Structure 1
Amino acid sequence: MRLPDFVDVYQGLISTSSISSTDPKWDQGNAEVITKLAEWFEGLGFDVTTEEVEPGKVNLMAQLGTGTGGLLLAGHTDTVPFDEGRWNYDPHQLTLDNNRFYGLGTADMKGYFAFILDAVYKMNASGTDWSKQQKPLYILATCDEETTMLGARHFTKEAPFKPDYCIIGEPTSLVPIRGHKGHIANAIRVTGKSGHSSDPSLGVNAIEIMHEVMFALMKLKERLVKEYHHPGFAIPSPTLNLGHIHGGDSANRICGCCELHYDLRPLPGLSLDSLDQLLQEALEPIEAKWPGKLSITPLHEPIPGYECDHKHEFVHSMQDICQTQSQTVNYCTEAPFLQELCPTLVLGPGSIEQAHQPDEFLSLDFIDPTLDILQRSIHKYCF
Structure 2
Amino acid sequence: MTDRTREDTTRRLERAMGALGTAAMARMDEQLPWFRALSAEDRSWVGLVAQAGIAAFVEWFQHASKDRPTPSIEFFGTAPRELKRSISLQQTVDIVRVVVEVVEAQSHELASPGGEDQLQQAMLHYTRDVAFAAAHVYAREAEARGSWDARLEALIVDALVRGEVDDGLHSWAAALGWTSSPVVVIAGHAPDDDPRAVIDSLREKGRRIGMDLLAGVQADRLIVIVGGAGNADEAARQVVARFGVGPIVIGPEVPDLHAAARSAGAALAGLKAACGWPDAPRPVHAEDLLAERALDGDADARGQLIENVYLPLAGTPLLDTLATYLEQGTSLEATARLLFVHPNTVRYRLKKITELTGYQPTEGRSAFTLQVGLILGRLSENAVAWGP
- Name which structure has the greater RCO, CA cutoff 8 Å, separation 6+: 1
Point out the structure with the larger helix share.
2
Q: Using structure 2 for the length normalisation, give the TM-score.
A: 0.24
Point out the structure with the larger strand share.
1
Q: Using structure 1 for the length normalisation, give the TM-score.
A: 0.24
